[in-house]
Structure 1
Amino acid sequence: MKWVKQHPVVTNMITLYKKKRFWAGLLLAQFLLFYVFSKSGVMISFFERFFELQKAVHQIIFSWIPFSLGDVLYILLGIFLMYCIIKCFKKTSRNISLLRILLIINVFYFVYQIFWGMLYFQIPIIKKLSSQEEPTVAKAKVLALKYLTQCKETRKKVKQDHNGIFVVTDLKSIQKEILFQQSKLPEYISDKKAPQVNSFKPSLFKNVMSFTGILGYYNPFTAEAQYNSELPNTYIPFTSAHESSHQLGFAREQEANFVGYLIGIHSKNIELRYSTEYFTLKSLLNFIVDEDPEFVKSVLANYSPEMKKDRAYEKSFVLKHQGFLNEFFGFTNNLFLKSNQQEGSVTYSYFIDLLLNYEKV
């Protein structure tokens, strides 16, 4: 029998094809595997315990770096992916570039899931509260009036710039207070370890973030809490508390809002408390506005002069940075939240649900 020797180029093409098929199949297998894991209480518990370990290790390794290492990693990854995509347009390098992209996606997806993704399937906080009643507009109104009064009083005690706009005077002390308050969370809500490691970082993407509506984000690969340092100061303390809640291990966005609320609302740091009270008031008004816009107008009209200046500055910041990126990131974030069994980015009723049941209005 005569054997026909294949040309080296043909052999190489077949090998690359098999490798691409392997990595594509492995990615599909990962999707199915982590889907099965998400339905298992035992596996979710395992990933919760694993998160505590990797969180502690990552914060020790990365927290001392003065800039966001996670952002640098994202930049390098983005550059390499763009290089591979460009190479895909050339026939001679198309197959190897596609193979590299598939390899990167597999590794990224696997690491993301074991470090963070499975935490979206933890037991919801709402199930840990003694009261689990449906939120109502009537209850939200009572709480809105309460926080309006508190905001007006707290606003008198904070500093402001020459334009009368609230300013943060000591961000480091706010961060220190957030870490302290993490250890004071009610045990029935959080049994997570608060390592007291400061790993808050201003994002390197702040200029882009201002046009996307993203206030901050948690990097699961380095355990850093990023915030947009260009934001109006009314946002920054509570955004930091929110991202610190992700650092603790609360993955769902509205649960991170609620834990951030618990961190800030009882704080002795007046700047953190004002930012938290103000966020809570705005969230309640957003919940109420569709049902009773006149009530919301009445509350806004009763803002103190200082609060009105803070609100006007926030509105001018948002209007200045509106555009295509804002809509695009809002759409993609909405899809991401829903893919992880969360409400969409526009709906904040779960936070209000947690808030009203906790406050027992």
Structure 2
Amino acid sequence: MIILIAQFLLFYILSKFDFAIDFFSGFFEWKKSLHVFLFSKFRFSVGDLIYIILIMTIIYFLINLLITKKSRFLKYILVSANIFYFIYQCFWGMLYFQTPIIEKLDEKKITDSEIKALTIKYLNLCKTQREKLKEDKNGIFTVKNEDQLKTDILEQQKKLPILISQKASVSVSCIKPSLFDAFMNKTGILGYYNPFTSEAQYNPNIPSTQLPFTIAHELSHQLGYAREQEASFIAYLCGRDSQNPDLRYSAHLYALKSLIRAVSKSDIRFANNIISSFSEKMKNDRAYELKFNLSNEGLISDFFGASNDLFLKSNQQEGKISYSYFVNLLIIYEIQKKEPYYKYDSKNTNDEKKFIAPE
């Protein structure tokens, strides 16, 4: 226990020094390439198998501790915790202290009118793009080719702006369906990254509207972005200019949802008007998403939602209820790139829109 506490203090102190963060970032790049090379050869998730073995071992120690009352089983648990924590911090934990992406962009105070303008832009983008996508017999969007999707995301990672990312993309796909997909349905978890094997996992059962972006998000973690909102921003960048229509639509739809959530805090009427302006095909997809979420609600999803929120906040992040960081990154990047957007005039009762370029 003393060693574990000492580790907490050690990594806390190291997180305050740039040279230490740079060291662990460089170590991650080396480890990432090696692990992806090794574990991409397995069709199943080796990381999930490690988790299963670890959990079963801890349960075995706990049962023996309760039955025999022998302190050696407590020692085994604490030794395991020390090893687990040390490897986690070396492989992944220190990456939460990398220079935030937002510090690489121009400083800009975001206004409600800019959020609304961008919301209108992405609404129109999504409506146009949705018309060209493949559907199932019920008129719900479905991903054409999952393997091609993964390949396209890796290719887009190589094209990320140097201003934003100088991390090396891997050349082979190492993202796999989770072995816990049935359980994930009940938790609300769409995907996760395993820092011990550098494998990215996703729930293959989620709606196709979420699937491409989720895969891109987890591959952004694999690229080396630990913060959730930054992984989402990198996934968005991979999708926004992709020639893969499924990926592009899913990324733009995620941006639209994030903007709607952000603007709803100050103007719920505007947010509801945007949702009601979805095309019929977008409304069908949204209804399917809501049905999927409602069918898997319960105590387990509430527990994991609260646990995930606490974890995010403990790792220099905002928690799942806040989308401001992603929205700030999105708007500042678009303005810095001189991207056109729709002007929103709050005085115009007809919500007239005019296509302009930001100054």
* TM-score higher than 0.5: yes
C-alpha distance in 2 between matches for 1:206 and 1:61: 23
- SS in structure 1 at match of 2:225: coil
- SS in structure 1 at match of 2:151: helix
Measured after TM superposition, the shift of residue 324 of structure 1 is 0.7
Deviations 1:34-56 (A, max 9, x none): 00110010000000100000000
1:14: which partner in 2? none
C-alpha distance in 2 between matches for 1:34 and 1:197: 32
- Segments of 5+ residues of structure 2 without an aligned counterpart are 336-357
**Aligned with residue 308 of structure 1, among 275, 283, 287:** 283
Specify the code of the residue in structure 1 equivalent to 2:77. I
C-alpha distance in 1 between matches for 2:112 and 2:295: 32
Specify the code of the residue in structure 2 equivalent to 1:108. F
2:166: which partner in 1? 191
1:151: which partner in 2? 126
**Aligned with residue 92 of structure 2, among 91, 111, 116:** 116
Aligned residue pairs: how many? Answer: 336
User: Does 2:112 align with 1:137?
Assistant: yes
1:233: which partner in 2? 208
Q: 1:136 to 1:326 in 2, by over 3 A?
A: farther
C-alpha distance in 1 between matches for 2:316 and 2:208: 31
- SS in structure 2 at match of 1:163: coil
Measured after TM superposition, the shift of residue 135 of structure 1 is 2.6
2:347: which partner in 1? none
2:102: which partner in 1? 126
User: Does 2:224 align with 1:282?
Assistant: no
**Aligned with residue 322 of structure 2, among 334, 342, 347:** 347
Specify the code of the residue in structure 1 equivalent to 2:242. S
Measured after TM superposition, the shift of residue 191 of structure 1 is 0.6
**Aligned with residue 144 of structure 2, among 166, 169, 175:** 169
Measured after TM superposition, the shift of residue 137 of structure 1 is 2.1
- SS in structure 1 at match of 2:43: coil
- SS in structure 1 at match of 2:67: coil
1:251: which partner in 2? 226
2:68: which partner in 1? 91
C-alpha distance in 1 between matches for 2:264 and 2:301: 22
Structure of greater Rg: 1
C-alpha distance in 2 between matches for 1:303 and 1:197: 37
C-alpha distance in 1 between matches for 2:140 and 2:67: 55
C-alpha distance in 2 between matches for 1:178 and 1:170: 12
C-alpha distance in 1 between matches for 2:76 and 2:60: 10
Deviations 1:329-348 (A, max 9, x none): 11111111111111111111
Measured after TM superposition, the shift of residue 134 of structure 1 is 2.7
Measured after TM superposition, the shift of residue 165 of structure 1 is 0.2
**Aligned with residue 55 of structure 1, among 32, 51, 54:** 32
- SS in structure 1 at match of 2:272: helix
1:64: which partner in 2? 41
Deviations 1:289-341 (A, max 9, x none): 12111111111111111000000000011111111111111111111111111
**Aligned with residue 5 of structure 2, among 22, 28, 45:** 28
- SS in structure 1 at match of 2:201: strand
- SS in structure 1 at match of 2:192: strand
C-alpha distance in 1 between matches for 2:75 and 2:9: 21
1:9: which partner in 2? none
Specify the code of the residue in structure 2 equivalent to 1:103. V
CA RMSD of aligned residues (A): 0.9
- SS in structure 1 at match of 2:68: coil
Deviations 1:84-135 (A, max 9, x none): 111111235x311101100100000000000000000000000001x22133
C-alpha distance in 2 between matches for 1:235 and 1:46: 35
C-alpha distance in 2 between matches for 1:151 and 1:74: 38
- Segments of 5+ residues of structure 1 without an aligned counterpart are 1-23
C-alpha distance in 2 between matches for 1:47 and 1:174: 30
1:73: which partner in 2? 50
- SS in structure 2 at match of 1:226: strand
Specify the code of the residue in structure 1 equivalent to 2:27. F
C-alpha distance in 2 between matches for 1:136 and 1:100: 54
Measured after TM superposition, the shift of residue 136 of structure 1 is 2.6
| Identical aligned residues as a percent | 50
C-alpha distance in 1 between matches for 2:271 and 2:170: 40
C-alpha distance in 1 between matches for 2:277 and 2:91: 45
- SS in structure 1 at match of 2:160: coil
Residues 212 and 327 in structure 1, CA contact (< 8 A), matched pair in contact too? yes
Measured after TM superposition, the shift of residue 138 of structure 1 is 1.5
Residues 216 and 243 in structure 1, CA contact (< 8 A), matched pair in contact too? yes
Residues 135 and 352 in structure 1, CA contact (< 8 A), matched pair in contact too? no
C-alpha distance in 1 between matches for 2:202 and 2:93: 21
